[in-house]
Structure 1
Amino acid sequence: MCDVKTPRSSRIGEDAVVRAAYGDVDAFRELYDAYAADVFRYGMLQTDSREVAEDILQETMIAIWRGRERLSSVANVCSWVMAIARNKTIDYIRAKPPTVSMSDFGDASEPGAAGVSTQASRPTGPLEDAIPDRVDLAAALIKLDLEKRELLYMVFYMDMSYNEVASVLGVPAGTVKSRMYFARRQLQEILERGCRSCQSLGRRDADCGDASHQVVNP
């Protein structure tokens, strides 16, 4: 992985962004379709509540519509959208600390999920090769604290660059890189503990039913 990943999360054309900024409903629908599933999943990940995630999605999109004039000047639409979603989520977390079980994470019936691919590319490397799909990753994410959870979600699930994540979190890209290092290490440890649990039951990695336990050491 390079030191600072280059931005690659744009999902809506520049023309549509400009039209949305001027109040074009069809263009705004394009923006909604591009980011609704990610915002919803982020809300689910941080609150474990479908109802709250739906509220976060709705409030995020309302805030974007009300501030649509800014769309023509924001440097990165993805970062701007997720920063708004994060602020809405923080408001909820401050009011009611969440307990996360991830029972519904990745449900195909998510608002805005229709037509949205769940297979965006992820950084490559030993840890990433050990996580074959997003369901396995979600199961490991719930064991992390909220800060590490959202960081890994934005990088692995949304394929956001360090610069984009830095914009969302309001910190330097170097800080994101440092936090990502420790988050990945902790995730690796969680996966390795799961693998050892399988081995203690007399199962080899190849026989383990959970593919996320098949860890490749760095």
Structure 2
Amino acid sequence: MMHEDRLPDNVFTEKWKHLIAAGNEDAFREMFNAYAGRLTAFAFSITKNKEASIEIMDEVFIKIWKHKEQLTRITNITTYLYTATKNTALNFLSHKSRETHLQAFDFINIELMEEERPDQRLISSEILSKIKKAVEGLPPRCKIIFKLVREDGLKYKEAAEVLGVSEKTIDAQMVIAVKRIGDAVGSYFDCFPARFQKK
């Protein structure tokens, strides 16, 4: 069983693809448990609607199960799930609003995940507060990229595919995020560089 503090690796996802395609409900449940919380949070960052975000996540997994035979054709499950969640969330917004220009994710407000992590236990609440404030002050696109890469653990290539941008854009935005966060925490930044190292 996967832990929710990290995304499953390729070995697990490859195994899941074939088992789920064959109708294995236990494998489907494992994949659901590994991704459900992250995808719900990602949907919420777009919709700002908790109930809708849960429904969006459920819809993504329902579609996967309905078309499970096609799962083996998917190259990267993580990228696929996040992209499907993004598209479903944007469809939700399009039905709730007459706005037609949803560009650059400028309307998205990303917040740090609240669950405690091992590295956070080493950081005082004051410093953690400064980090969160710095992230909150990032430009919208920068915040969503920071979340996908640092909070959800996506690789630069995966985040680029999900958002439909280049890896150079991901890299440039992460440089901005790291610099601003580093400036915010000042001398304390040297205490936890591993959290912000480029993957």
* TM tier relative to shorter chain: 0.5 to 0.7
Amino acid aligned to 2:151:
Y
Number of the residue aligned with 1:152: 146
TM-score (norm 1): 0.61
Alignment partner, residue 10 of structure 1: 8
22 and 79 in structure 1: CA distance in 2 versus 1, 3 angstrom threshold: same
Q: 1:66 is matched with which residue?
A: 66
CA contact (8 A) 1:21 1:68 kept: yes
Cα distance, 1:158 vs structure 2: 1.2
Aligned residues between the structures? 173
Distance 1:99 1:186 in 2: 19
Cα RMSD of the aligned pairs, angstroms, is: 3.9
Task: Note the alpha carbon deviations across 1:43-72, whole angstroms, 9 max, x for none.
Answer: 233333321221221122123223333321
Does the 8 Å CA contact 1:20/1:27 hold for their aligned counterparts?
A: yes
> Higher relative CO (CA 8 A, sep ≥ 6), structure 1 or 2?
1
Quote how far apart the aligned CAs of 1:35 are: 0.3
- Counterpart in 2 of 1:83? 83
Give the TM-score, by structure 2 length: 0.66
Which deviates more, 53-62 or 41-50?
A: 41-50
**2:158 alignment counterpart:** 164
Q: Distance in 1 between matches of 2:146 and 2:172?
A: 12
Tell me what 1:216 maps to.
Answer: 189
Q: Percent identity?
A: 22
| Alpha-carbon displacement from aligned partner over 1:150-209 (angstroms, at most 9, x marks no partner) | 2111111111111111221233322321232234345556xx2xxxxxxxxxxxxxxxxx
Q: What runs of 5+ residues in structure 1 fail to find an aligned partner?
A: 1-7, 109-117, 122-128, 193-211
Which has the larger helix fraction? 2
Letter in 2 for 1:216: F
In the TM superposition, what whole-angstrom CA distance separates every residue of 1:117-151 from its partner, at most 9, and x where no partner exists? Answer: x6488xxxxxxx89999887555444444422221
SS at match of 1:23: coil
> What is the SS of the residue equivalent to 1:154?
helix
Q: Counterparts in 2 of 1:34-45, with a 5 A limit? A: 34-45=34-45
How much does 1:105 deviate? 5.8
Aligned to 2:55: 55
The 1:91–1:158 alpha-carbon spacing in structure 2 relative to 1, beyond 3 Å, is: same
Tell me, in whole angstroms, the C-alpha distance in 1 between the residues paired with 2:40 and 2:15.
25
Counterpart residue type for residue 178 of structure 1: A
1:56-98 deviations in whole A, cap 9, x for unaligned? 2112212322333332122211111111111122223444587
Relative to structure 1, the CA distance from residue 10 to residue 42 in structure 2 (aligned partners, 3 Å threshold; closer, same or farther) is same
Unaligned runs of 5+ in 2: 1-5, 100-106, 194-199
Contact 1:38–1:158 (8 Å) recurs in 2: yes
